[in-house]
Amino acid sequence: MAIITPSLPKGTRDFLPQQMVKRQFVIKTVQEIFELYGYEPLETPSLEKLKVLSGQYGDEGEKLTFKVLRRGTGLEELLSGREEFVIKDYGQLVDEALRYDLTVPLSRVVAMHQSDITLPFKRYQIQPVWRADRPQKGRYREFYQCDIDAVGTDSRLADAETIAIVYSVLSTLGFKSFKIRINNRGLLNGILEFAGVEENQRTPVLIAIDKLDKIGFAGVEREILAAGLGSGKVKEILDILALEGPAETLLAEVSMRCQGVAAVNSGVEELTEVLKYLQLLGVPEDKVKLDFYLVRGLGYYTGLIQESVITEPKIGSLTGGGRYDRLIGKFLGRDIPACGVSFGIERIIDVMDELNLFPEIKTKTEILVSTFDASTQASSIAFAQKARNAGIKAETYFSASKLKKQFTLADRKHIPYVIVIGPDEMQQGRVTLKNMATAEQIGLSEEEAIAYLLKQRH
């Protein structure tokens, strides 16, 4: 018999129960924290119209967007009477795409449902996104994002809250050595303006600046020069990027150097305000680092930008976000200010695994109720139902068989307790409860057993 060789599309994964327990642990944690700050849930379709997504993510993002072939008559009409297709025609073959992130769908939702949405709209969204990227460590083609965004406010408190939430999530999950890097797009632009960089030259310069950590000052200098800037301008930019010290000092220094550049002044002002709010929100100073060379790739950011990184292991950023005051306007015709942050839950899980931050839970099932033989099966089923009614997660062994096999099953599945109801127990109206970790075994009434199990949860 010919079998179908089982395989998965590149960059996608199955999540087996033991992994799902971990994933749900992380998702539950972030969800609870999101709700603590007053964010509400939202889901959107996997598919979006291509015209909604295109042009939002830059050239690179465009290439990485999974596009969906037209279907049915649409495709037939397109192809009818044509002998061949040329590369130029590919664009017409597709009309929809898998969502690339959660921010653009949010903007669409806000524009489409104005009458149902009260501003400021604070929503969280935990759903997969797709990118036609070449996978590598910590990078997948299908992965979950957890986003929070506050739409309809330009308050710096909203920006500060997203940073506070990042801090809260990462520290609650057990991360110790992380830093939240912040910067401001307006400030960056102001610095470039001060250095006399023309508008149309800024993107390559920003991309070069973003790589500072990786390629060093010499590398950045080389790339900026390659972008066609004079060496005088390059020096002015690099001098500012090289500034070190506490945030307040940096801000004072940069506003002094760039006197008279409005964008710099307002950027400094915004960052100062955000820092003030972070203090009120109780975010430790040493967790937040002002980095003038933080850029972030996505084109739509306009104000504060942030990303969180850990030093060990080296895996790139865990979260990232910022303010995007002009994105929603693309769908609405008038701008609505917004800011948000995205949690890279896949990387968070990978890193937590590597750092051993997960609690030792391998299954959610609490007891296996064994089935001794046909005459006792009814008692086992009845006890399992009693336990379930008390909220205990119980699995019943489906058919009477050797206890050995039943205990082996509990062991394999890491179920912590096994209940045995054999002829002896049945006669006495009691059950035997075995702790799989300690091998201790006690005889209890059914009620006592259930009370005991509930107590073990601590």
Partner RNA sequence: GUGGGCGUAGCUCAAUGGUAGAGCCCCAGAUUGUGGAUCUGGUCGUUGGGGGUUCAAGUCCCCUCGCUCACCCCA
What is the DSSP code (8-state) at residue 246?
-
What is the x/- site pattern for RNA, positions 153-192, by CB under 7 A?
Answer: ----------------------------------------
Beta-strand ranges (E) seen in 152-290 are: 178-184, 288-290
Contact call for residue 120 and RNA (CB under 7 A): no
- Which is nearer to RNA, 255 or 376 (by Cβ)? 376
Distance CA 186, CA 276 (A): 19
Return the SS3 of 131.
coil
Contact 395, 367 (CB under 8 A): yes
Contact call for residue 323 and RNA (CB under 7 A): no
Distance CA 148, CA 341 (A): 6
Nearest distance in Å: CB 80, RNA = 28
How many beta carbons lie within 10 A of that of residue 308, not counting itself?
Answer: 27
Contact call for residue 441 and RNA (CB under 7 A): yes
Span of 26-34, 87-95, 208-216, 380-388 interacting with RNA by CB under 7 A: 208-216
- Which is nearer to RNA, 206 or 278 (by Cβ)? 206
Contact 191, 258 (CB under 8 A): yes
Contact call for residue 344 and RNA (CB under 7 A): yes
Return the SS3 of 332.
helix
Contact 33, 163 (CB under 8 A): no
**Range 357-376, binding RNA (CB under 7 A):** 372
**Range 379-438, binding RNA (CB under 7 A):** 402-405, 407-408, 410-412, 418, 420, 422-425, 432, 434, 436-438
Span of 75-83, 180-188, 235-243, 315-323 interacting with RNA by CB under 7 A: 315-323
**Range 77-106, binding RNA (CB under 7 A):** 101
The residue from 99, 108, 131, 181 that contacts RNA (CB under 7 A) is 131
Distance CA 193, CA 214 (A): 25
The residue from 7, 115, 259, 399 that contacts RNA (CB under 7 A) is 7
Residues that bind RNA (rule: CB under 7 A) add up to a total of 63
Contact 289, 125 (CB under 8 A): no
Distance CA 434, CA 419 (A): 6
Q: What are phi and psi of 395, to 5 degrees?
A: -110, 135
- Which is nearer to RNA, 143 or 167 (by Cβ)? 143
- Which is nearer to RNA, 138 or 329 (by Cβ)? 138
Q: Which residues bind RNA (CB under 7 A)?
A: 7-11, 58, 60-61, 64, 101, 131, 133-141, 143, 145, 207, 210-211, 214-215, 296-298, 307, 316-320, 342, 344, 346-347, 372, 402-405, 407-408, 410-412, 418, 420, 422-425, 432, 434, 436-439, 441
